[in-house]
Chains A and B, each alone.
Chain A
Amino acid sequence: MRSRRKATTERAVAFLWLLRKEARELLASRAWWVLLFAMGPLVGVTFISAVRTYAEASGLNGTAAGVGEAFSPLIGIWAPTFSACEVAAVFLLPFVAIRLVGGDRQSGALKIEAQHRMPSIERIAAKALVLLLAWIVASMPAAAAVALWKSYGGSIYRPEVATVMFGHLLDAGLTIALAAVTAAVSEHPSTAAILTLSVTVGTWILNFIAAVQGGIWERVAGYTPPAMVAAFQHGLVRLDVVLIAAILIALGLTLAAVWIRTGVAVGRRARETGAWSAAAAAAIFACTFATPSWDASESRANSFPAPDEAALARIDRPLHIEAHLAPEDPRRADLDRKAFAKLRRVMPKLDVRYVSATSIGLFEQTSPHYGEIWYELGGRREMRRATTAESVLETIYDLAGIKAPDESDEPVFRGHPLAVPPKGAATVFYGLWPALVVASALFARRR
């Protein structure tokens, strides 16, 4: 008992030493200071531009007052402001992560550290933990933007801001995991950087193919980092997205741990990689069936009115929808975002199928069936062409044989117009933050 406690203490002490070492290595990394420095101007540009646009739409400088009535800070301010974090997570964070994970191999420190009995997953966990903390520190300018917005008298709806922040934290976690694998697999950091950026570009290509081809591509593309972040930026927390992101992060760190080990034959590592990847793929597939989701937006942008949701939830039969619309037809995007996405949240047995012969639909317009939307519920079929949410709901109620709920008396979200200029933001993001970073870098170097 005592020896087990002693072993646990020794293990904890070793892990703490490793954490301290990773933190020091991070502070010694130029890539980290560049990321930190760049975050100020990056967030500054997006925040200042968003606040100006928001102010103009809210009636500043003589524009029509009231345009901003339906304005939500989630879409008007937080989505664009935090998109700076997405840019940094794609283009800057990988270099910091690769430096921290691959640096040990480059310098030879790995040959010394790997002689400790500590499992390689703990070594990777220490690196990931420090990188995640580093990302939180690097996100401070975004937090400063929230504080500035509050100081302008702007409205802050905490659940939606927290959702956006959580989404970007997951995105950073994915980047860290990806960079950790590539750094562990590659002999040289530049190879790791190329591999990481290739995967990122690959997800963009996948999104592009999905937009053109639809079908299974669209479903897979829904779980790429840009699509995940987009969902969070709309205030939507989907359990399947969170679970799949967590699995991908765990897979990335596990594979990094497999490849960072010394003294293990490449063949064995490859077999372990295959096994872990297969297990993760199975888990991801299972997670795609997890339907719970939460609409954290103040405007309930991802939900139908509550009475409609209650009525739809009572329909327990499967609903099949076949929409004859091409992937690039704007009506299809409207239909999916404003109706089907909301419908999926309350009707788990919904099956939507798009039918089209081409990707843009331009030459299908003359086809007699193009634009038709077929609904099938409980053996009854009905066809409509309208793509509004109201029309979709009306058709479903008809097929289900239930009465449409009365007009909701819940208060309608009117938005929070705010016609103020981004006062002091330039000083904070272009002056104070960079100065603070430079001073901290000099201080850290002297220590």
Chain B
Amino acid sequence: MLHVHGFTKRYGRIAALSDVSFSVREGEVLGLIGPNGSGKTTLFECMGGVLPLDGGALVRGGRPVGGRERASMLFYLPDQIVPWPAQTVRWAIDFTLGLFGGRAALREQVVRQLDVEPLLDVAIGSLSKGQRKRALLAIGLLMPHPLLLADEPFDGLDLRQSRDVARTLRSYASAGRTMFLSIHQIRDAARVCDRFVLLSGGRARGEGTIRELAALAAARGSDAGEDLEEVFLALT
């Protein structure tokens, strides 16, 4: 579907991303795994067009993806934002649906699945972190773009909510939506993702299913088995 080719981003002397490359396949849930400060958010912001790249490109069908094509192809849901704090969740959903021409037919279903119904008439600025996360995920799922990039979708959610959200995300992936999720909790990632990109120190350390990554770790002399945490530690 999309190839991230040689992404490089520097903040002054600090290299946030160094020649990061991997692929996103249609209909999969791809997890971006890495510790805090590994460059996950920077990678997402560069993919989403929020930050300018110093090098590299998004490639599709062998040619670079332009700004307009990117805008119709992927939707990036940032972490730690409180957009339109004075407006209600109901209005924010209406607005984003109207602005982006989103999937209005799915509105009731998404709102129910993410348990956003009780929050509809609450101002976004008054929501707790977890509530806000669910409201924003609802917006993300309702967007018309075939690829959804969500930065830390489980951050602020309790165990039950994390499981419910993981189930919901999987159900939309099964229906053909491609998801790319940045997750720092490896257990959450293992629960929801089909494949993984391991990021550490601004470099991609591996890409593939758990089995493929385990094989890669084994090739490097690790006996991590198919435990994602162990595989991650072995490869980073």
Please list the residues of chain A having a beta carbon within 8 angstroms of any beta carbon in chain B.
Answer: 10, 13-14, 17-18, 20-21, 24-25, 28, 104, 107-109, 111-117, 262-265, 268
Contact = CB atoms under 8 A, between A and B. Distances in A.
A30 B224 CA distance: 57
A117 B70 CA distance: 9
Given A14-B99, A21-B95, A108-B78, A114 B83 contact: no
Max chain A C-beta neighbours (<10 A), residue from B72, B75, B84: B84
A385 to B, nearest CB: 65
A264 B46 CA distance: 10
A111 B78 contact: yes
Max chain B C-beta neighbours (<10 A), residue from A18, A262, A268: A262
A107 to B, nearest CB: 5
Contact of B81 (A18, A20, A111): A111
B72 A112 contact: no
A313 B85 CA distance: 62
| Overall SS of chain A's interface | helix
B71 interface: yes
A265 B99 CA distance: 26
Contacts of B78: 108, 111-112
Interface residues of B, number: 31
Interface of B: 45-46, 48-52, 67-68, 71-72, 75-78, 80-87, 91, 95-96, 98-101, 139
Given A10-B101, A107-B81, A114-B49, 11 more contacts: A13-B98, A14-B98, A17-B99, A20-B95, A25-B86, A107-B82, A111-B48, A111-B83, A115-B76, A117-B67, A265-B52
A18 B98 CA distance: 9
A71 B54 CA distance: 67
Nearest to B80: A108
Given A18-B99, A115-B75, A262-B50, A108 B82 contact: yes
Nearest to B83: A109
A174 to B, nearest CB: 28
B51 A113 contact: no
A164 B183 CA distance: 59
B99 A116 contact: yes
A271 to B, nearest CB: 13
A381 to B, nearest CB: 64
Contacts of A20: 95
A24 B50 contact: no
A265 to B, nearest CB: 4
14 contacts: A10-B101, A14-B101, A17-B95, A24-B87, A28-B86, A107-B85, A108-B80, A108-B83, A115-B48, A115-B49, A115-B75, A117-B71, A117-B72, A262-B51
A262 B51 CA distance: 6
Contacts of B68: 117
Nearest to B140: A112
A116 B71 contact: yes
Given A13-B98, A111-B76, A28 B48 contact: no
Nearest to A112: B83
A265 B9 CA distance: 11
A93 B71 CA distance: 34
A381 B74 CA distance: 76
A114 B52 CA distance: 13
A418 B146 CA distance: 71
Max chain A C-beta neighbours (<10 A), residue from B50, B80, B96: B50
Contacts of A24: 86-87, 91
Contact of B84 (A17, A107, A114, A264): A107
Max chain B C-beta neighbours (<10 A), residue from A108, A109, A112: A112
A247 B91 CA distance: 36
B75 to A, nearest CB: 6
Contact of A109 (B49, B71, B80, B84): B84
Contacts of B51: 262-263
A20 B100 CA distance: 14
A189 to B, nearest CB: 14
Nearest to B68: A117
Contacts of A25: 84, 86-87
Contacts of B80: 108
A264 B95 CA distance: 26
B70 to A, nearest CB: 9
B100 A116 contact: yes
Contacts of A111: 45, 48, 50, 76, 78, 81, 83
Nearest to B48: A115
Contacts of B85: 107
B74 to A, nearest CB: 8
Contacts of A109: 81, 83-84
